[in-house]
Structure 1
Amino acid sequence: MSDRLSASLYRRRAAVLWVSAVALVLAGIGGLGVENRLVHGGFSDPGAQSSHAARLVAEHFPTAGDDLVLLLRGADPVDTPTTTTLGTELTRRAERSPGVRAATSYWTAGRAPSLRSRDSTIGLVTLSLSGDEDDRARTAERLVPDIRRHAGGLTVMAAGPAQVQSEVGEQTAHDLLLAEAVAMPITLVLLLLVFGSAVAATLPLVIALLSVLATRTVLNALAGTVSISVYSMNSTTALGLGLAIDYSLFILARFREELRTGATVREALVPTVRRAGRTVAFSALTVALSLVALLVFPQFFLRSFAYGGIVVVLTAAAGAAFVLPALLAVLGHRVDRYDVFARLRSPERRAAAPENGRWYRFATAVMRRPALYGGGVIVLLLLLASPFTRVSSGLFDDRSLPADSQVHRATQLLRDRFDAGALGTVPVVVRGAGRDLDAYARTLSSVHDVRQVTAATGSYAAGRKVQDPGPATLMDGDTALLSVVSAVEQDSSSGTALVRALRKADPPDGATVWVGGRAAEVEDSTAAIARATPAAIGIVVGSSLVLLFLFTGSVLMPVKALVLNTLSLSATFGAMVFVFQEGHLASLVGSPLHTGTLDATIPILTFCVAFGLSMDYEVFLLSRIRERYLRTGDNTESVAFGLQHTGRIITAAAVLVAVVLFVFAISGVTLLKLLGVGLALAVVLDATLVRAVLVPSFMRLAGRANWWAPGPLRRLHDRVGLRE
């Protein structure tokens, strides 16, 4: 089949390239405007208690929301006539704006102390916005500049979840353009260093461009039916560029290798498509199945990475397996034209036997003392992994943006100059409480770290009623809202501990209770991720074990790959905690603000993507080892041979992919910075310590057992497995 495919690609190379050119143009057109169709948010579980509480608050108590918080500061204190007039006018203007359900401010709500800074210089306007997360972010994006234009002598700063989402969207779009501008020239220079030839260096970028544009078109189409996160565009670009380079390097290396043996262009395409092309297809399937695991999570932020990632993997593989061979058929020996390093390579070096290669000698040296080298690397990886035992999960907030961002400075003012309740109260929605509402409010007010509870029956503190009911409407039919003011910040471990305590409080007889708010969202989202993680790991591990067995016919090799990948990923997670959660060596990645937590979505996202990339290199290396082993039956020599023929390419591919990913370290959004740096580190560890040291060590110790399988599985592989 593969021989017929290579012959067909050779004969119809012009037609393939014309079709590809048309597809490239159509993809460029089809992807226009995709950025405007991607949405904010997606970190919460829509089926969680906190999400249901938010929907009930929006439905029954539209004035209770604090989606957007405006901080107004004038030259005079907040109670002076001038500041009062301006503050009241701005509150009314905000209330009349499209997308705003209600506006409450210090000047229109009876001059409540909680809406005034402790030094009386700043007054707050809290806005309840309509729609979903994306609608609220777009309202904030439109409303805040309008309020600033009409602020008179007041300085206006904006905080709240809608403003955070709005500024994250702007920063993400800026970071994507910056990353592309930085990554593309660096990648081209590195490709030139790898191949020497200017012609060969540009081919992977052609495949990457085709892959990324095709993925943008698919995302544009999908955005009309499902919610897709704004972050997916950044990940799609990085992954598409990285994998297109990976797959193209492997195809190009095999084609040039065959040409150097004296084969014609047509003859060189046969083993290139049969072996390298098949390996690319198999590797892409492995990566795609790893990304499928993200679909089991309820948060559309994670599912968005699956949508974009699966498409970009498959299109990158298709481009490398079909379009690139057609290009090579046209270029032939001209693929080596404009070799800028030709004079630096002697004919003797080009003709050197494999056993004289550096990778061959390195693998042989490792296999002489496999326990020493392998054991040393395992100890190192375990040391790197140890900080992960201290991981503390959270969700991103304003501190995910740069320290000089407007929303971060505004929120920091809320932390520093206002009571803890200014950062958001904990809404508790009760349905069917009846006369027991007073007793339930007293119970909640006695919970540790609760400062005050306001309900339709009055205000409570320390288990007793301290104030009669106010003018606020906190009852709608049989649905009541209790506003819990805490003594701790919601974006903290103390905040989530408070939510757990509130949920443990005995509800009124016959009533149903939902606890919402930011801390509850963090608690519910991390719990949802924890519940879905076993299924996701099962999909990744199960598919990898099955596919590697079909590829190798071995039982031991898939298990070995699983164990080694887990080791390198654990080391990556440990480094992420050490740098991003605890703040050590943070200056190396742009000094992001650390909050003492690690975003709960990133470890599982890193696991699925990095595991797929690791299997990518595993398949590349094993394909050459297995090919040699089937010819010679010599396990040790086959490992050295395989590393010699793939070590340089895997290392080059890993460096290129790591550079593309590490470019996101310059992102102003900590979430992207964390993801890019984490994936880059995982790729580097896998391509160096794992592929170059642990794989040869393990395969030397296992010997012929590497290729063993019990009789029934051997017969199964003979029927359905991949064979030469």
Structure 2
Amino acid sequence: MGSRHSRVRGVAARAGGWSARHRWAAVGIWVLFVVLVMGFGSAVGRAEVKDSEQLKGETRTAAKLIEDAGIEEPASETVLVQSKDASLKATDDAFRAAVAAVVKAVDATGEVTGITSPYETRTVSEDGRSALVQFDMRGASDTAGERVQPVLDAVEETRKDHPSLLIEEIGGASMTKTFDKAYGDDFKQAEYSAVPVALGILLIAFGALVAALVPVLLAITAIMATMGLMSLVSHAIPMSDTADSVMLLVGLAVGVDYCLFYLRREREERAAGKDAETALRIAAATSGRAIVVSGVTVCVAMAGMAFTGIADFVAMGLASLMVVAVAMVGSVTVLPAVLSLLGERVEKGRLPFLRRRTAGHGSRFWSTVLKAVLAKPVLSVVVATGALLAVAAPAVGMKTQELTLDQEFGDSLPIVQTYNRVNEAFPGGSDPATVVVKARDINAPEVRSALAEFRERAISSGASRGPVEIKVHDADNLAFVYVPLVGGSDLDEAGAGVDTLRDEVRPATLGEVAGVEAPITGQVAGSKDFSEQLIGSVVPVFAFVVVFAFLLMLLSFRSLTIAITSIALNLLSVAAAYGILVAVFQHGWGASLVGAEGVGAIVSWLPLFLFVILFGLSMDYHVFVVSRIREGRMQGRTTKDAITHGVVTTAGVVTSAAVIMVAVFAIFGTLSMQSMKQMGVGLAAAVLIDATVIRGVLLPAVMALLGEHNWYFPRWLRKLPDLTHDETPEAVVPGPRHRRDDEEPVRV
């Protein structure tokens, strides 16, 4: 019976067959889906993560108290006036004249309120060389960054008139303006670079413009559809700007990869003499199935982020999950329709300087490597595993923390230098701890007394050097206590100050008054709460991702051995990526190559984020390669021949896919933000290791050593659902293979 009449089972094969037969309908449905989702998403708008939804613990309690009271704290700004010469003091007439000029200039803009002189608030440094003029921006704090420029201009003009003094502005509005521009410029650079880079690599891989454009266009439409879905879903689960960036990164990488797998297989079958319809059927049943298995595994991994309970992580996980799901569906539905419509025209726009590649003949380089690996599998396993463990070794001493402003941006932004000068002169003044005090009557004598005692003990305990400011909102029975922390930008020392306030000062003062709530928040407290919540979620996230990935591999390949080795190899790949991160960004080995001098730590959210992303993305290659090996085994090849067939024939597409991923991720390694550098370098290094050492050396060597045990599937597990359905059509499986008595029969 020919392949046209063979019964093909499985979602991917059926979807591909239907799409190829109803080409225009499939394309039309996809376009309609993208347009409708984007339209509805634009119409309903998007709900962003609120401060009260970000974390659990005291930070969340404080944000909720402020939100319930309807209080919107204004964006506070500070102007540092500092003498360049130690002989000029804040008490001198020239210094006082400069302070008065600053007050007059910022007041004249009409954009500020509540201006205070350092001589009124005693915000003069101990050495007498520095003073702070403080004020609030008028209007909503979330738009203050858009309105702060006239104030910055006024301060700059005042500075020009007093050359003997440093006069610099810093605060919520000015930092928002600066960082929004830096952050926006960074991601515009990444977005504008990623697509051309991917297209250029695909042009080299396929040698034809049309073939290269198809994966890029499908990935872009998947990203566009996901943007609409994010708006719709955000009203149930709020989204964030970080989720947008991660979704774009994952969507482009995965969307292009899935199309690449499918398109390469279709071209390979046509090059082998199959007609267009048969080639598409084979691609749907083989690469299509691998895409579905890989996509579901990635989605499960992304879902693991929900266990953190951190709003940004939940948003990142959900956005990544959605874009992977949309790209997966598009790859097994609209892609076959597009390829059926294009036919031979997929080869249009050939580049004259690139020879037409004959698909399916494998890679000469990887054939040579594989020959050596299979000749000495034990040596290959020992050397490759030893090398990866050596690379992973630095991860044992990993130090994680929230990056301070100077660590995040270095000296690339002038405002960072201002931040450092303010912290040096007034430790903790730029990032004070904020105690949100809620009472039945905020003006009750016992509450007022407790507030005063808290202020005194905050300083006497050593947590702060003061001045401690108290701002009371009578109508809301709420008070804000601002406590500059000793240590300033040193998060360890400042964090110890937060612990002192929470564990010693508060219980002895505000804690003695019945009915008073006094959660302590602020940047340092928020960082501590974030880290503690993140650490608490590590075990659940790891367990969820590993267990479900194991089950999916077990049910997809009907092999206990493959499921175990898949998890082990993925964990080894992630560990090596951790080791590279620590070596570069914590120990500084080769840090100058990526502009990461002086960071000294890994941003606290990155290890868990990398684990989830890498565990999901590495399944792309693993599923694709193992599926091809399994296919060869089903065709009747020996395990060793099947390994050679699977690795060599997939080497080209895996290499192309890896180069695209590495290139896209490496773009993020060039950005100015250190956290983005770390993410980009970590992802790029892991994908590179995964596509070369893991898939090209360790996987075939381990499978060669295991031999027939690769296909071990105990009888007691055979009652589990069969996700494989052995979708390969007879065109791929020309005849029966010999099987052992204890193996499960192959259904074709």
Q: State the TM-score, normalized to the length of structure 2.
A: 0.82
Match of residue 639 from structure 2: 635
Q: 1:10 aligns with which of 9, 16, 20?
A: 20
Structure 1 CA distance, aligned partners of 2:240 and 2:73? 27
2:553 matches 1:542: no
Q: 2:697 aligns with which of 685, 693, 697?
A: 693
The aligned amino acid for 1:637 is D
Q: 1:209 aligns with which of 204, 215, 220?
A: 220
Q: 1:86 aligns with which of 79, 101, 104?
A: 101
Displacement of 1:567 after TM fit?
Answer: 1.3
2:528 matches 1:523: yes
Correspondences of 1:266-665 after superposition (within 5 Å): 266-340=277-351, 344=355, 350=358, 357-399=364-406, 400-401=408-409, 403-416=411-424, 418-428=425-435, 444-447=458-461, 450-451=464-465, 454=468, 484-505=483-504, 507-508=507-508, 510=512, 514-589=519-594, 591-592=595-596, 594-632=598-636, 634-665=638-669
Match of residue 723 from structure 1: 726
Q: Contact between 2:155 and 2:169, CA under 8 Å: does it hold in 1? A: no
Structure 1 CA distance, aligned partners of 2:318 and 2:391? 32
Q: Contact between 1:31 and 1:214, CA under 8 Å: does it hold in 2? A: no
Of residues 632-641 and 159-168 in structure 1, the stretch that sits farther from structure 2 once superposed is: 159-168
Distance 1:21 1:480, change over 3 A: closer
Q: Which SS does the other structure have where 2:309 is aligned?
A: coil
Q: 2:55 aligns with which of 46, 63, 72?
A: 46
Displacement of 1:510 after TM fit?
Answer: 4.2
Q: Contact between 2:99 and 2:133, CA under 8 Å: does it hold in 1? A: no
Q: Contact between 1:68 and 1:129, CA under 8 Å: does it hold in 2? A: no
The aligned amino acid for 1:244 is G
Match of residue 186 from structure 1: 197
Displacement of 1:655 after TM fit?
Answer: 0.6
- Any stretches of 5+ residues in structure 1 without a counterpart? 457-471
Structure 2 CA distance, aligned partners of 1:163 and 1:343? 52
Displacement of 1:111 after TM fit?
Answer: 4.3
Structure 1 CA distance, aligned partners of 2:241 and 2:213? 29
Of residues 491-500 and 517-526 in structure 1, the stretch that sits farther from structure 2 once superposed is: 491-500
Displacement of 1:29 after TM fit?
Answer: 5.9
Structure 2 CA distance, aligned partners of 1:476 and 1:209? 51
Q: Contact between 1:105 and 1:125, CA under 8 Å: does it hold in 2? A: yes
The aligned amino acid for 1:598 is I
Match of residue 124 from structure 1: 133
Distance 1:364 1:593, change over 3 A: closer
Q: Which SS does the other structure have where 2:132 is aligned?
A: strand
Q: Contact between 1:284 and 1:313, CA under 8 Å: does it hold in 2? A: yes
Q: Contact between 2:306 and 2:317, CA under 8 Å: does it hold in 1? A: yes
The aligned amino acid for 2:643 is V
Q: Contact between 1:629 and 1:638, CA under 8 Å: does it hold in 2? A: yes
Q: Which SS does the other structure have where 1:451 is aligned?
A: coil
Amino-acid identity (%): 25
Structure 2 CA distance, aligned partners of 1:478 and 1:344? 77
Distance 1:241 1:510, change over 3 A: same
Distance 1:473 1:183, change over 3 A: closer
> CA-to-partner distance for each residue in 1:266-321, whole Å, 9 max, x for gaps?
11111111121121122111111111111222332222212321121112112211
Structure 2 CA distance, aligned partners of 1:323 and 1:477? 57
> CA-to-partner distance for each residue in 1:447-474, whole Å, 9 max, x for gaps?
4564358588xxxxxxxxxxxxxxx769
2:78 matches 1:69: yes
Q: Which SS does the other structure have where 2:148 is aligned?
A: helix
Structure 2 CA distance, aligned partners of 1:27 and 1:63? 34
> CA-to-partner distance for each residue in 1:320-362, whole Å, 9 max, x for gaps?
11111111111223323444368746xxx949866x9543443
Match of residue 463 from structure 1: none
Structure 2 CA distance, aligned partners of 1:483 and 1:368? 69
Match of residue 741 from structure 2: none
Structure 2 CA distance, aligned partners of 1:357 and 1:255? 21
Structure 2 CA distance, aligned partners of 1:84 and 1:411? 19
Structure 2 CA distance, aligned partners of 1:670 and 1:138? 26
Q: Which SS does the other structure have where 1:159 is aligned?
A: strand
Q: Which SS does the other structure have where 1:123 is aligned?
A: strand
Structure 1 CA distance, aligned partners of 2:196 and 2:392? 34
Distance 1:500 1:372, change over 3 A: farther
Count the aligned residue pairs: 690
Correspondences of 1:76-115 after superposition (within 5 Å): 80=94, 82-89=97-104, 92=107, 97=111, 103=114, 105-107=116-118, 109-114=120-125
Q: Contact between 1:40 and 1:165, CA under 8 Å: does it hold in 2? A: no
Displacement of 1:556 after TM fit?
Answer: 2.0
The aligned amino acid for 1:531 is G
Structure 1 CA distance, aligned partners of 2:636 and 2:77? 69
The aligned amino acid for 2:649 is H
Match of residue 228 from structure 1: 239
Q: Contact between 2:52 and 2:64, CA under 8 Å: does it hold in 1? A: no
Match of residue 685 from structure 2: 681
Distance 1:222 1:714, change over 3 A: closer
Q: 2:256 aligns with which of 233, 241, 245?
A: 245
The aligned amino acid for 2:254 is L
Structure 2 CA distance, aligned partners of 1:128 and 1:342? 60
Displacement of 1:230 after TM fit?
Answer: 1.6
Q: Contact between 2:669 and 2:677, CA under 8 Å: does it hold in 1? A: yes
- Any stretches of 5+ residues in structure 2 without a counterpart? 1-8, 160-166, 440-445, 728-748
Q: Contact between 2:586 and 2:600, CA under 8 Å: does it hold in 1? A: yes
Q: Contact between 1:14 and 1:326, CA under 8 Å: does it hold in 2? A: yes
Displacement of 1:693 after TM fit?
Answer: 1.1
> CA-to-partner distance for each residue in 1:471-508, whole Å, 9 max, x for gaps?
x7699999776654443124422222332344332723
The aligned amino acid for 1:83 is A
Structure 1 CA distance, aligned partners of 2:134 and 2:699? 61
The aligned amino acid for 1:369 is K
Q: State the TM-score, normalized to the length of structure 1.
A: 0.85
